[in-house]
Amino acid sequence: MGLDTAKLRKRILGEHLPLLLCLLYFAALAPFAEGFATSYNLVNVFSAMLPLLVLATGQTLVMITAGIDLSATAVIAMASVVGAMIISGDVGWLAGNPLAVPIGIVAMLLVGAVVGAINGTLVAWFRMPPFIVTLTSLMFFSGLAIWSTQSKAISALPHSFLILGGNDWVTLAIVATVVGGIHILLTRSLYGRWIFAVGHNPKTALVSGVPVQKVLVGAYIAAGLIAAVAAILITSRMESGSPVHWQRNLLDVIGATVIGGTSLYGGKGKVLWTVYGALFLTLIDNSLNLLNLSHFTIMMVKGLVILAAAMLDVLRNRENG
Amino acid sequence: MTFLRNPLLALTCFLSLLLGGCGGGSSDDRITIGVAFETLQTEYWVAGFDAIKAELEKRDIRILEAIADSDSNRQLQQIKTFVTRRVDGIIMVPKDAKTSIPAIKAANEAGIPIVLFNRIADREGVEFVGVQADNFALAKATVDYMVEKARETGRKHKAMVVLGDMGDHNAIGRRDGFFAAIDGNEDIIEVVARVPSEWNQEKAQAGVVNAFQANPDISFLFTSSDFLFPSIVSALKAADKYHKIGEPGHVILGGFDGDATAWQMMQDGYLSATGVQDVYFEAEASVQAILDLLEGKEVPELIRDPGFVIHQSNMEAMKDRMWGAVISSGN
């Protein structure tokens, strides 16, 4: 017993609280939600969680800088459409070309990087509020994606592309790489320390020699790239490019991040917490579906859970002065 | 205390302990059918959902329900949840022809019969039974009636068609039915405006307003769905074009679906005709198809709802079969 009880209690009720909630929730619901604890369903839960986890990881990065990225679902829409327009066997610009898939993937990532760079530049150099900047990006790029396809889905994607989101092991490897990479970036690199410093207090960070603007632009570009990775997984899983993929799931992305414990005020957050948050939201969705509750009830429950997490964040911040 | 220092290990152990013991098995041995709708945002889908539930209750079949809120990814998860619950069959309204294919595939892989209600998907490596109105024939018959009324006025009409989402087979069938009816009648009907709505009220309203600004003398309007009428009527009123049949400035109106708004407009003397999808036939056919598939019977890939056209001349006789009129009367 190397760890004393008070420290252990603080640790469990503090940073691992969302995991504890996941476990309690699972234990409480398992006897009632038919099939909840079956291996098939647990695979579904983890499979459904992966794209959300990727997106929430990008959101975590931005939120630690005291920002927010509302454009994540617009990046998915735009990247999904651009990628499908390039690689589709029916209407793709490179249909039949063996390099179509790699070029399509690069183009999708480029879309994410460009949107992220626009967001970051406006936030860092023009000092515009992240909420307004990314809300504008959300509206503009969602509209552009719908306009460019006239709201039509693009199918006939090559098999080599469909594996990325269609095979759980491949998806898991991609997600683990992204999530693990961001975890290492935040915990083991100088850039990670700069991100926290900027989130805590940008003026102090600047005085201490942190290149605040570059750090912010980097965070938004990384979030854009991560959203593009999610777009690759989602487009592949849904076997089609569409301007409305994940259009209505922005609340889940922000919710998973906040439920995990990443502070809306910046300067605090961990990728591991976001894993807990994504798991908790996915468990709620899955279990309430199994309980045969309506979508509207599920939305209400999720809204209340996110509100509770945000309130907890406020209380913690008050306690910390 | 490695166990508590490593939360993922704790989670894995906890799940493993529960995996063996918890199944949440149900003692209900009735047939269970999962009903997954893309949305309940229009009267038609609500009526369809209620009709299916009533049909299942009538046959003492257990129902599991799921609404995807227009999100095909969520619909995929919901179908997988149905598989988890080991339903005997699935009735689904797909989001569109393409993005719902993985959800259908999930049902196929689990060996669960699946029926698509009212809207079908592309048959790209997936198997399903579709129950669908003959959108082309019904739209054509509706517009045929409107053309007949236009011809009776003895003058030429400029026409507008409000289109649906072109990723939806139903919208395409209705558009083609409209143009098939106009074909050969160009002497009295000139189509001057094609308004894309993407099944969105705001887009429909903006499109109709713009079309009236460009062509103020439009006097013939067909909408691919009655649920867009509130937006269209608003635009007509703004352009001072909303007048009863027989009044000066009347625009000949026609629609598709047969909802309560259309019934009210018909009773009030504004709407000439609408193609009615027989929601009760479609609900009954969907449930029967699942039961037949479970018994190993042969079921056609596509079951056609013939529907019917209700118009000013037959409305009293046909109102009991029009779902919008039935809803309005509270039956």
Is A159 domain-assigned?
Answer: yes
Q: Which residue matches tokens 């509209």?
A: A143
- Within 13 A of A268's CA, how many CA atoms are on the CB side? 15
| Per-residue pLDDT band at A20 (split at 50, 70, 90) | confident
For residue B29, what pLDDT is reported? 80
- Tens of pLDDT, residue by residue over B268-288, are 999 999 999 999 999 999 999
**Residue A291 pLDDT > 90:** no
pLDDT at A151 (0 to 100): 74
Q: Are strands B114-117 and B129-133 parallel, antiparallel or unpaired?
A: parallel
- Please report the pLDDT score of residue B140 as a whole number: 97
Q: Is A39 exposed, middle or buried (0-12, 13-18, 19+ CB in 10 A)?
A: exposed
What per-residue confidence (pLDDT) applies to B114?
97
- H helices of chain A, in order, are 5-13, 17-29, 39-64, 72-87, 100-124, 130-149, 159-166, 168-188, 190-200, 202-207, 212-237, 250-260, 271-290, 295-319
CB nearest to A22's CB, from B11, B19, B22:
B11
For the beta carbon of residue B235, count every other beta carbon within 10 angstroms.
Answer: 23
In a domain, A170, yes or no: yes
pLDDT tens track for B238-262: 889 999 999 999 999 999 999 999 9
Please give the pLDDT value at position B8.
Answer: 41
B contact test, residue of A49, A246, A289 with most B CBs within 10 A: A289
**Proportion of chain A above pLDDT 90, given as a percent:** 65
Residues of B in contact with A246 (CB under 8 A): 71, 73
pLDDT at B214 > cutoff 60: yes
CB of B174 within 8 A of CB of B137? no
Mean pLDDT over B120-138 rounds to 92
Closest CA–CA distance from residue B187 to any residue of chain A (Å): 32
Q: How many domains does chain A have?
A: 1
Q: What's the average model confidence in pLDDT over B305-331?
A: 89
Taking an 8 Å cut-off on Cβ atoms, the answer to whether A35 and B85 are in contact is yes
Beta strand pairing status for B273-276 and B308-311?
A: antiparallel
- Residue A15 counted as domain residue: no
Share of chain B above pLDDT 70, in %: 91
pLDDT at A317: 65
Distance CA B325, CA B294 (A): 34
Token pair recorded at residue B3: 């166990």
pLDDT at A319: 65
Cβ <8 Å between A34 and B97: no
Residues linked to residue B130 through DSSP beta bridges, in sequence order: B116, B302
Name the minimum distance, in Å, from the CA of A212 to any CA of chain B: 34
Contact B103, B46 (CB under 8 A): no
Say yes or no to pLDDT of B21 above 60. no
Cβ neighbours for B122, distance < 8 A, ≥ 6 positions apart: A155, B97, B98, B101
Task: Judge whether residue B13 has pLDDT over 60.
Answer: no
pLDDT digits (tens, 9 = 90+) for A64-117: 999 999 999 999 999 999 999 999 988 899 998 999 999 999 999 999 999 999
Burial of B125 (0-12, 13-18, 19+ CB in 10 A): exposed
A12 contacts on B by Cβ (under 8 Å): 4
* Number of other residues whose CB lies within 10 A of the CB of residue A199: 25
Contact A237 B102 (CB under 8 A): yes
Mean pLDDT calculated for residue range B302-311: 94
Residue pair A71/A59 in contact by the 8 Å Cβ criterion: no
C-alpha to C-alpha distance for A269 and A67, rounded to whole angstroms? 12
Residue A111 CA to residue A105 CA, distance in Å, equals: 10
- The predicted structure's pLDDT at residue A56: 97
B36: distance to nearest CA of chain A, Å?
11
DSSP state at residue A110: H
Average pLDDT score over chain B:
89
Strand ordering across the sheet containing B252-257 = B189-196, B157-163, B218-223, B252-257, B273-276, B308-311
What predicted TM-score, i.e. pTM, was given to this entire model?
0.81
Predicted pLDDT at A296: 76
Structure token pair of residue B243: 């007048």
Residue A8 lies in a domain: no
- pLDDT of A9: 64
**Secondary structure (DSSP) of B136-148:** HHHHHHHHHHHHH
Does an H or E element contain B273, and which? strand B273-276
In sequence order, the 6+-apart residues with CB closer than 8 A to the CB of B307 are B133, B134, B138, B275, B276, B277, B278
Under an 8 A CB cutoff, do B96 and A153 touch? yes
Q: Calculate what percentage of chain B has a pLDDT beyond 90.
A: 75
| Chain A residues near residue B24 by CB distance under 8 angstroms | 30-37, 290
Contacts of B67 in chain A (CB under 8 A): 294-296
Mean pLDDT for A148-159 is 87
CA A289 vs. chain centroid, Å, equals 22
Interface test with B, best of A9, A239, A280, A300 (most B CBs within 10 A): A239
Mean pLDDT of B55-61: 95
Query: Looking at per-residue confidence, does B71 or A226 come out higher?
Result: A226
User: Is A122 part of any domain?
Assistant: yes
Contact B4 A3 (CB under 8 A): yes
Chain B residues closer than 8 Å to A295 by CB: 66-69, 74
d(CA A43, CA B15): 12
* pLDDT range class, residue A3, cuts 50, 70, 90: low
Of A237, A248, A299, the CB nearest to B70: A248
Closest CA–CA distance from residue B55 to any residue of chain A (Å)? 18
CA A134/CA A143 separation, integer angstroms? 14
pLDDT tier at B170, thresholds 50, 70, 90? confident
**Beta strand pairing call for B62-67 and B89-92:** unpaired
Q: Is A317 part of a structural domain of the chain?
A: no
Among the listed residues A72, A60, A69, the one whose alpha carbon sits nearest the alpha carbon of residue A271: A60
Q: How confident is the model at residue A197 (pLDDT cuts 50, 70, 90)?
A: very high
CA A81 to CA A194: how far, in whole Å? 34
Please give, rounded to a whole number of angstroms, the shortest distance from the CA of A222 to a CA of chain B: 24
Compare B325 and A319 and report the one with higher pLDDT: B325
ipTM of this complex prediction, to 2 decimal places = 0.82
Band of residue B20 on the pLDDT scale cut at 50, 70, 90: very low
Count interface pairs A-B at CB distance under 8 A: 148
Contact B263, B319 (CB under 8 A): yes
The predicted pLDDT at position A21 comes to: 84
Could you tell me if residue A125 is inside a domain?
A: yes
* Inside any domain, residue A89: yes
For the range B202-210, what are the long-range contacts, defined as Cβ-Cβ under 8 Å and sequence gap of 24 or more?
Answer: B202/B231, B204/B162, B204/B228, B204/B231, B204/B232, B205/B231, B205/B232, B205/B234, B205/B235, B207/B162, B208/B160, B208/B162, B208/B232, B208/B235, B208/B236, B209/B235, B209/B238, B209/B239
Q: Which range has the worst mean pLDDT, A25-29, B168-172, B203-207, B318-322?
A: B168-172
- Across the interface, whether the CB atoms of B73 and A296 are under 8 A apart is answered no
Question: pLDDT-derived band of residue A150, with 50, 70 and 90 as boundaries?
Answer: confident
Dihedral sign for Cα atoms in the order B258, B261, B264, B266: negative
Whether A61 and A186 have beta carbons less than 8 Å apart is answered as: yes
First vs last C-alpha separation in chain B? 65
What whole-number distance in Å separates Cα of residue A149 and Cα of residue B264?
Answer: 36
Residue B6, pLDDT score: 43
Per-residue pLDDT tens over the stretch A44-71: 899 999 999 999 999 999 999 999 999 9
B98/A39 CB distance under 8 A: no
Query: Which chain B positions have a beta carbon within 8 Å of A166's beta carbon?
Result: 102
pLDDT classification of A160: cutoffs 50, 70, 90: very high
CB contact under 8 A, B77 and A150: no
Residue type, A179: V
Does the distance separating the beta carbons of B84 and A238 come in below 8 Å?
Answer: no
- Is B167–A152 a contact, with Cβ atoms under 8 angstroms apart? yes
Instruction: Show the domains of chain B with their CATH numbers.
Output: 28-133+279-305 (3.40.50.2300), 135-276+310-329 (3.40.50.2300)
Those residues with Cβ within 8 angstroms of residue B192's Cβ, 6 or more apart along the chain or in another chain: B158, B159, B160, B211, B214, B215, B218
Mean pLDDT of chain A: 90
Identify from A1, A16, A25, A244 which residue to disrupt to test chain B contact, counting B C-beta atoms within 10 A and taking the largest count: A244
The SS3 of residue B149 is helix
- β-strands B32-37, B308-311: how paired? unpaired
Chain B residues whose CB is inside 8 A of the A294 CB are 65, 67
Interface test with A, best of B99, B108, B119, B126 (most A CBs within 10 A): B99
Choose the mutation target among B8, B9, B80 for the interface with A, i.e. most A CBs under 10 Å.
Answer: B80
Of A90-104, A147-161, B25-39, the least confident = B25-39
What single string gives the DSSP state of each residue in A29-97?
A: HTTTSTTTTSHHHHHHHHHHHHHHHHHHHHHHHHHHTT---TTHHHHHHHHHHHHHHHH-TTT-TTTT-
Cβ atoms < 10 Å from Cβ of A222: 24
Which pLDDT score is estimated for B255?
Answer: 97
Expressed as residue numbers, the domain containing A192 is: 48-246
Minimal Cβ distance to B24: which of A12, A16, A36: A36
User: pLDDT per residue over A265-284, tens digit each?
Assistant: 999 999 999 999 999 999 98
The residue ranking higher by pLDDT, A290 or B186, is B186
Q: Do A248 and B71 touch (CB under 8 A)?
A: yes
